[in-house]
Structure 1
């Protein structure tokens, strides 16, 4: 296992990256004193970490150091530049979400604590999510007289309308079990079990073919976010299957094992 500070200031390593066995990596937000609020260094750190994982990691776990997962964008920082115009563009908060959404690796949010505003956006943009029972997830923006610019739409696309409205309009926080009941996360577990639960899930997903995972992720985002009509969605499903046949031998190998009476990954 290797641990790499992906972005560093004089006083902090804003994001840590660990490469674990089996094609799994962990990105840890490392500003615990600031509840892992996303300053420019942290946002750029996520971009650097995602770049390093590209072509190497099948699964990426996102989590936070300390009692918070992510308290959203650091509003106290003001306008700060990395000195690199392209990195500045890629590390705008909306751009970071697109970096995660378009990354070929499957992203699992391991929500260890408080996730507010942009922190809840990270949960919604992750492909899978596990929360600690003790987690507190919410959108405080209405208290500032604001609509949550990213967190609101993300919740409205991912959750039932009344659940999204509750988060947007009340500023009240929900815990891990409620987040699981609402479908914001896949599973809620006691905090002491979160790391092992996220790692177990990552290992299961990472046991599958990388190309199949990447194209399945594309399909999960495209349908129904971009394609909502049945016939178009089915046509896209066939397109993805054709791409997998041309790009990977995993399907042919899997069918061969099945026909020979052997088990494939994921089979009981």
Structure 2
């Protein structure tokens, strides 16, 4: 029997990474963190991969850090030193990452979803920032949760640690789409198809724009934005996209 806790499948430009450790509620154990980082590294480096999907087996998406491993108290045992790098890989991935949550997500598991570009949730999914209830703070995940969520909603939920359901997560900005359980796979497939119609470089640069801090006067930002726009128009992708539009055909990067 395999000791692996992550399933990896590549098919038609999609790398699906499936958390597969239901015995510990898909907790972010040392093994899970290591396998996720390795699989993400490979998917990002693989030119044939256009979209990454983060899914799970079992009832629970992810229960957060493995508290059995964290009991020693040392930062390295808690995964504090490794987890930021994992969140950063998802957040900064040049390829879109789609999170799929079909059941409970807690603490660091919510952070993993928040780092994704698009999150599809089943109606039965539930969420909670449980850190304060075990004497810690949601410090690391706040870096990806706070930019995503409505500030007042995040304020209350991070302080109370209470469980909230998918409609609240949608209204608060944590998830993007909520559908019945039987429609999750079709919804994910539709999002993957939509993302696959975008050009790889254009998607990467658009993600970078979306993740960039919006500081300073507009007049100071426009020169760099104009330069990016000009470079993309003149790029091979840009010219192919224009030609495909004019010729009413799919661009070369659209999966067949």
Normalising by structure 1, report the TM-score.
Answer: 0.82
Does the alignment pair 1:113 with 2:69?
A: no
SS across alignment from 1:172: coil
Does residue 1:123 correspond to 2:113, yes or no? yes
Query: What do residues 206-249 of structure 1 show as CA deviations (whole Å, max 9, x unaligned)?
Result: 1221111111111111143xx46433443343233244346x41
Q: 1:176 aligns with which of 162, 166, 171?
A: 166
2:243 pairs with 1:256: yes
Is contact 2:154-2:172 (8 Å) kept? no
| Distance 1:151-1:91 versus aligned 2 partners, 3 A rule | closer
- Runs of 4+ with deviation above 6 angstroms: none
Flag the 1:11–1:253 CA change in 2: closer, same or farther, 3 A.
closer
Partner of 1:18: 9
Counterpart in the other structure of 2:179 = 189
Gaps of 5+ in 1: 1-9, 81-88
Q: Would you say the 8 A contact 1:90–1:96 is kept in 2?
A: no
Q: Is the 8 A contact 1:131 1:194 kept in 2?
A: yes
What corresponds to 2:41 in structure 1? 51
1:15·1:27 contact (CA, 8 Å) conserved in 2?
yes
1:71-90 aligned at under 5 Å gives the runs: 71-78=63-70
Q: How does 1:157-172 map to 2 (within 5 A)?
A: 157-172=147-162
Q: What stretches of structure 2 of length at least 5 have no aligned partner?
A: 73-78
Match of 1:85 in 2: none
Is the alpha carbon distance of 1:95 and 1:79 closer, same or farther for their aligned partners in structure 2, counting shifts above 3 Å?
A: farther
Q: TM-score, normalised by structure 2?
A: 0.86
Task: Kindly state the Cα deviation for residue 264 of structure 1 after the two structures are TM-superposed.
Answer: 5.7
RMSD: 2.5
Paired positions, count: 244
Counterpart secondary structure, 1:149: coil
SS in 1 for 2:242: helix
Distance 2:81 2:33 in 1: 5
Distance across 1 between alignment mates of 2:94 and 2:170:
25
Distance across 2 between alignment mates of 1:100 and 1:175: 24
Question: Quick check: 1:69–1:114 contact (8 Å CA) kept in 2?
Answer: yes
> C-alpha distance in 1, partners of 2:242/2:2?
53
CA distance in 2, matches of 1:210, 1:62: 19
Query: Cα gap change, 1:75/1:212 in structure 2, threshold over 3 Å: closer, same or farther?
Result: same
Q: d(CA) in 2 for partners of 1:167 and 1:228?
A: 30
3-state secondary structure, aligned to 1:68: coil
